[in-house]
């Protein structure tokens, strides 16, 4: 078993840990981390495959570099969605601090 | 022998941190472990001989992701203390994972025609054509010339993500009887940074900018390039923004908008004009392709840096003034 | 490279690794954040310096040596600054409580005179004042 | 030289443990900081081992970014939640 095959299986393991977390966890922040871990697993597989040829495969490495930047922009968006959702829930549960929805509580 | 032990140690580190980042009982521990996972991942890229990726991971995975996650964790008022497992979903998820695992094993380890026995044709092609590409480093050649489409579309992905984030921002505004304002909980608390921090940033910020420029310039012959340099500059901008040493990067400032859109637009203009006047989409003209690539890379670096910095810090200042 | 230089470089590298190991031990075993900060930041700086020196002997190239030296300076600055910042942060969050300390130490903080370790007590006092000041600023 | 790298990685476990177990936020940042330093040392050793200068550049970037993380995290946390949340973090 050469190191390429070894890291290929490590990458698959990281991907599966992420997948398991995504399916099982309920906390949104952790789900975002889980998706990121799945991405890391995919990059590991790509780079492990890149070591097949002797000067390592530049195409797969370039793909992984591109993927990394896409992953962080997607993460930023996802995290913003998470905090927007939480803010939304807060507004629904706390209607009595001068917010728009507070007119329901006023005595008529 | 040493290599085998090294591989096993790295694998144990990676797997334990991945598990811990998801299942640590306290979310802050999970975030800390994920940042640490980024650092160890950079070491793994180094072990696997992928310097471009190691540079990018050191800048993005270790630096920017941590700041992003911490921002998000701060926005969540009550720290979510436990990982709730849904018992009914445990079984299907384990079954699904076993299925995926089985499939992957079948794909990767089936005797003579496993993926490790096949030799991919692309590396030879890259080696053959690299003399015509205008740069000497193969990964940069792939990113900026052979697969320039990927890079072009990626700049648009960054732009899309930023637009998405900006769309979500108005949610912060709360309409009250006196008018539109931020709710007290959302208003960022401005803390005066400590003097040693300011002094150290005075040393660190020029070094970051210098290193970014070095990586950008180095990128044509050695590992480095637009993404790595952009990520480092973004980290510098984000942390300077954090200690209020930089005038706030705001979407409403036209240079910011120009820089953000500039990278993608310039690339698009080059793509269209090569299709119209030249040999085809993103086939650079033979003499002068180096100049073209360097120009695109410089603009793309600035664009990536500003976009990432805005994504990380968020332009909440838009609403505070 | 002469035998002596090789031996020296390996001795330096081994010493550096030793410092890293003690730092790791301190990080694991020390009782509170301040002692852990002390253990990790100091030993890491020393270990990195020794390791870089050992590697510089083996590299035997001026540019590489300069880069190693530069990285060491960077690590030194980074660890010492972060030690300072983290200590201030923990003091600000959780100021050292007179009642949580052993009696002797608490007395020495109050009066400024220590029976056992005068130096450590004097070090605690000014930082604590800074911390409380800092709290007043933003709170 | 390979064994030096292995020993360095083993010391990294201490940083991981501290990051995973807290008990305070400063401890976690300290763990990450320690991991960063170990990573830099690992990359320098790797550069000498494989005779590749690239890893020194990566080590330089990691050194810069590890410093940035600590500074950013401390500053972010100071402007963050009120201190009473900290009490829930003990393990």
Query: In a mutagenesis test of the C interface, which of D41, D53, D71 is the best target, namely the one with the most C β-carbons within 10 Å?
Result: D41
* Range A11-28 average pLDDT: 87
Residues 10-49 of D with CB under 8 A from B: 10, 12-13, 15-16, 19-22, 25, 28-29, 31-32, 35-36, 39, 42-43, 46
First to last CA, chain A: 77
pLDDT on residue C12: 93
Joined together, the tokens standing for residue B180 give 């539109």
Look at C136 and C72; give whichever has higher pLDDT: C72
DSSP per position, D10-77 = HHHHHHHHHHHH-SSHHHHHHHHHHHHHHHHHHHHHHHHHHT-THHHHHHHHHHHHHHHHHHHHHHHH
Joined together, the tokens standing for residue B34 give 């994920």
| Sequence ranges of the domains in chain A | 3-95
Joined together, the tokens standing for residue A35 give 């998706």
Look at C119 and B224; give whichever has higher pLDDT: B224
Whether residue D23 has a cis bond before it, omega within 30° of 0: yes
At B179, which helix (H) or strand (E)?
Answer: strand B179-182
Residue C132 scores a pLDDT above 50? no
pLDDT on residue B29: 84
Sign of CA dihedral B71, B164, A21, A88: positive
Q: Would D88 be classed as within a structural domain?
A: no
Q: Does domain A3-95 have CATH number 3.40.50.1240?
A: no
- CB distance B9 to B43 below 8 Å: no
Q: Do C86 and D30 touch (CB under 8 A)?
A: yes
Q: Do C28 and D66 touch (CB under 8 A)?
A: no
In angstroms, the separation between the Cα of residue C101 and the nearest Cα of chain D is 18
Joined together, the tokens standing for residue A76 give 């930023």
- CB distance D4 to C13 below 8 Å: yes
pLDDT on residue D62: 92
pLDDT on residue A95: 52
Residues spanned by the domain of D21: 2-82
Joined together, the tokens standing for residue B310 give 């805005």
Facing A14 at nearest CB: one of B18, B157, B158: B18
**Cα-Cα-Cα-Cα dihedral of B317, D26, B229, B46, to 10°?**
-150
**Nearest residue to B153 (alpha-carbon basis) of A73, A36, A79, A80:** A73
**Nearest residue to B42 (alpha-carbon basis) of B15, B10, B12, B18:** B10
Q: Would D91 be classed as within a structural domain?
A: no
Joined together, the tokens standing for residue B80 give 């979510």
pLDDT on residue B108: 67
Q: What domain count does chain D have?
A: 1
Q: Do D83 and C93 touch (CB under 8 A)?
A: yes
| Sequence ranges of the domains in chain B | 145-321
Instruction: List pLDDT tens digits, range C35-44.
Output: 899 889 999 9
> Which residue shows structure tokens 């953000």?
B260
- CB distance B175 to A103 below 8 Å: no
pLDDT on residue B136: 79
Chain D residue whose CA is closest to B229:
D61
Residue B1: is it exposed, middle or buried by C-beta count within 10 angstroms (0-12/13-18/19+)? exposed
Three-class SS of residue C120? helix
Range with the lowest mean pLDDT among A14-23, A27-36, B142-151, B243-252?
B243-252
**Nearest residue to B296 (alpha-carbon basis) of B227, B211, B223, B206:** B227
Residues of chain D with pLDDT under 70: 79-91
Facing C138 at nearest CB: one of B191, B197, B200: B191
Instruction: List pLDDT tens digits, range A72-86.
Output: 999 989 988 887 787
Angle at D10 between CA D9 and CA D12, to 5 degrees: 65
Look at A18 and B90; give whichever has higher pLDDT: A18
pLDDT on residue B38: 92
pLDDT on residue B287: 73
Size of interface A-B (CB pairs under 8 A): 246
Facing C88 at nearest CB: one of B194, B200, B203: B194
Q: Do B238 and D72 touch (CB under 8 A)?
A: yes
* Predicted TM-score of the model (pTM): 0.83
pLDDT on residue D51: 86
Q: Would D54 be classed as within a structural domain?
A: yes
pLDDT on residue A50: 86
Along the 321 residues of chain B, how does pLDDT read in single tens digits?
888 899 999 999 999 999 998 888 888 888 889 999 999 999 999 998 888 899 999 888 877 888 888 877 776 665 554 555 556 667 777 787 788 888 777 766 655 556 666 677 777 778 777 777 777 788 888 888 788 888 888 899 999 998 888 877 654 444 444 444 444 444 455 667 788 888 888 888 899 999 999 988 888 788 888 889 999 999 888 888 877 767 767 777 788 888 888 888 888 888 888 888 877 777 777 777 788 888 888 999 999 998 988 888 765 544 443
Burial D7-32 (b: 16+ CB within 10 A, else e): bbbbbbbbbbebbbbbbbbbbbbbbb
Go through chain B and tell me how many residues it has. 321
């Amino acid at each position: 078993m050469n190191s390429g095959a070894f890291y290929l299986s490590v990458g698959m393991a990281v991907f599966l840990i992420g997948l398991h977390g995504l399916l099982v966890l309920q906390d949104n922040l952790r789900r975002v981390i889980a998706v990121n871990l799945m991405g890391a697993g995919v990059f590991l597989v790509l780079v492990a495959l890149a070591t097949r040829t002797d000067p390592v495969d530049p195409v797969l490495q370039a793909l992984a570099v591109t993927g990394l930047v896409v992953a962080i922009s997607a993460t930023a968006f996802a995290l913003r969605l998470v905090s927007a959702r939480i803010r939304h829930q807060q507004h629904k549960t706390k209607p009595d601090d001068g917010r728009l929805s507070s007119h329901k509580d006023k005595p008529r | 022998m040493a290599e085998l032990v090294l591989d096993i140690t790295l694998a144990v580190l990676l797997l334990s941190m991945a598990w811990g980042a998801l299942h640590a009982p306290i979310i802050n521990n999970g975030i800390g472990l994920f940042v640490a996972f980024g650092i160890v991942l950079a070491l793994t890229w180094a072990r696997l001989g992928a310097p471009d990726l190691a540079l990018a991971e050191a800048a993005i995975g270790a630096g920017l992701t941590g700041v992003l996650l911490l921002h998000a964790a701060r926005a969540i008022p009550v720290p979510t203390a436990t990982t709730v497992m849904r018992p009914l979903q445990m079984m299907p998820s384990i079954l699904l994972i076993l299925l995926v695992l089985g499939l992957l094993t079948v794909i990767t380890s089936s005797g003579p025609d496993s993926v490790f026995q096949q030799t991919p044709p692309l590396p030879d092609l890259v080696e053959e054509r690299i003399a015509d590409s205008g740069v000497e480093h193969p990964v940069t050649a792939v990113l900026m010339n052979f697969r320039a489409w990927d890079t072009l579309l990626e700049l648009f992905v960054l732009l899309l993500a930023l637009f998405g984030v900006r769309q979500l921002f108005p949610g912060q505004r709360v309409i009250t009887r006196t008018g539109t304002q931020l709710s007290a909980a959302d208003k960022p608390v401005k803390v005066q940074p400590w003097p040693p921090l300011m002094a150290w940033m005075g040393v660190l910020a020029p070094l970051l900018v210098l290193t970014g420029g070095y990586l950008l310039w180095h990128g044509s012959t050695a590992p480095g390039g637009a993404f790595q340099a952009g990520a480092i500059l973004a980290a510098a901008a984000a942390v300077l923004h954090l200690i209020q040493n930089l005038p706030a990067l705001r979407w409403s400032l036209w240079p910011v908008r120009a820089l953000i859109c500039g990278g993608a637009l310039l690339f698009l203009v080059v793509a269209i004009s090569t299709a119209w006047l030249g040999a085809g989409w993103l086939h650079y003209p033979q003499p002068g392709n180096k100049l073209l690539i360097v120009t695109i890379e410089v603009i793309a670096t600035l664009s990536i840096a500003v976009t990432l910095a805005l994504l990380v810090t968020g332009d909440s200042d838009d609403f505070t003034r | 490279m002469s035998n002596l230089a090789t031996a020296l470089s390996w001795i330096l590298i081994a010493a550096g690794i030793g410092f890293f190991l003690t730092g790791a031990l301190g990080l694991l075993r020390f009782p509170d954040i301040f002692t852990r900060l002390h253990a990790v930041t100091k030993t890491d700086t020393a270990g990195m310096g020794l390791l870089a020196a050992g590697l510089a002997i083996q590299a035997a190239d001026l540019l590489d040596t300069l880069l190693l030296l530069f990285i060491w300076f960077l690590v030194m600055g980074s660890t010492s600054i972060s030690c300072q910042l983290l200590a201030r942060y923990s003091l600000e969050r959780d100021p050292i409580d007179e009642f949580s300390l052993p009696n002797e130490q608490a007395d020495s903080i109050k009066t400024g005179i220590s029976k056992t370790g005068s130096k450590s007590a004097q070090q605690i006092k000014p930082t604590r004042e800074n911390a409380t000041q800092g709290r007043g600023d933003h709170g | 030289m390979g064994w030096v790298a292995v020993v360095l990685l083993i010391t990294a476990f201490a940083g991981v443990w501290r990051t995973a177990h807290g008990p305070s936020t400063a401890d976690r940042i300290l763990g990450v900081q320690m991991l960063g330093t170990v990573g830099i040392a690992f990359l320098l050793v790797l550069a000498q081992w494989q005779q590749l200068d690239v890893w020194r550049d990566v080590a330089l970037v990691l050194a810069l970014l590890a410093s940035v993380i600590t500074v950013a995290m401390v500053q972010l946390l100071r402007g963050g939640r009120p201190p009473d949340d900290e009490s829930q973090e003990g393990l």
